[in-house]
Amino acid sequence: MSLFDHHVENEMRQELLGENAFLLRGFARLAETELLAELARVIRQSPFRNMITPSGRRMSVAMTNCGELGWVSDRAGYRYASTDPQNGLRWLSMPPAFFQLAVNAARSAGFSDFMPDACLINRYEVGTKLSLHQDKDEKDFGQPIVSVSLGLPAVFLFGGLKRTDKTRRIQLLHGDVVVWGGASRLHYHGILPLKPGHHELLGDYRINLTFRKAG
């Protein structure tokens, strides 16, 4: 198979999830080894932790960040912060392999000037879910979001502008990338409880990297 065939095959594996929401099947597969090596560096400095929601609940998804800004939650609310509240240090800067993957994915979905400054890293274990929510803590909703799935599969719920709107269910597999912006930027979405399984690289976990321009 030539490089050209490979390119065409990738193009054909883009699916439209909704208005301005694209699923790039397997887009991160080629970079998986590098992504996992960089991930290990990030979590050595800023380990996964279960943050507390403003209402006082402990999130079941464990999180950390890299990049200039990191998403944090505590009793005071949700916000982006330049330092890790757990150790007072700046988040590890975004590894070039992360940045390049996010920029390339955004470009192939038609967002040519994406400049992510934040990468939220979510870790799911079996049974863990992420309730329906909107991503609205960023300054500029004109910038897309790039979301990379690694490890165990998960069912992604993709709804509308109201929490009660009907949702679509999309299976996200290791290496899949979702690019999302424009008209659907503020649509409700979530992750159903993770099913038991074992992934050859990530064991009993699903990891999600979510890239944003937050500041």
Residues that bind ligand MD6 (CB under 6 A): 122, 130, 135, 145, 147, 156, 178, 180, 189, 191, 208, 210
Cα dist. 62→20, 77, 122, 185 in Å? 28, 17, 6, 24
Residue with tokens 């049974």: 127
Q: How far apart are CA 207 and CA 167, in angstroms?
A: 22
Our finding on whether 84 is near Fe ion (CB under 5 A) is no
- Which of ligand MD6, Fe ion, none interacts with 145 (beta carbon under 5 to 8 A by kind)? ligand MD6
Region near Fe ion per CB under 5 A, out of 6-14, 81-89, 130-138, 154-162: 130-138
- Which of Fe ion, ligand MD6, none interacts with 194 (beta carbon under 5 to 8 A by kind)? none
- Which of Fe ion, ligand MD6, none interacts with 178 (beta carbon under 5 to 8 A by kind)? ligand MD6
In whole angstroms, how close is the CB of 107 to ligand MD6 at the nearest point?
Answer: 17
CA 143 to chain centre: 14
Helices and strands of the chain, counted as H and E runs: 3, 13
Our finding on whether 135 is near Fe ion (CB under 5 A) is yes
Whether the CB-CB separation of 210 and 119 falls below 8 Å is answered with yes
Nearer Cβ to Fe ion (135/176)? 135
Nearer Cβ to ligand MD6 (143/210)? 210
Q: How far apart are CA 23 and CA 7, in angstroms?
A: 16
Nearer Cβ to ligand MD6 (117/135)? 135
CA 54 to chain centre: 21
What is the number of alpha carbons within 13 Å of residue 173 lying toward its C-beta?
6
Which residues lie near Fe ion (CB under 5 A)? 135
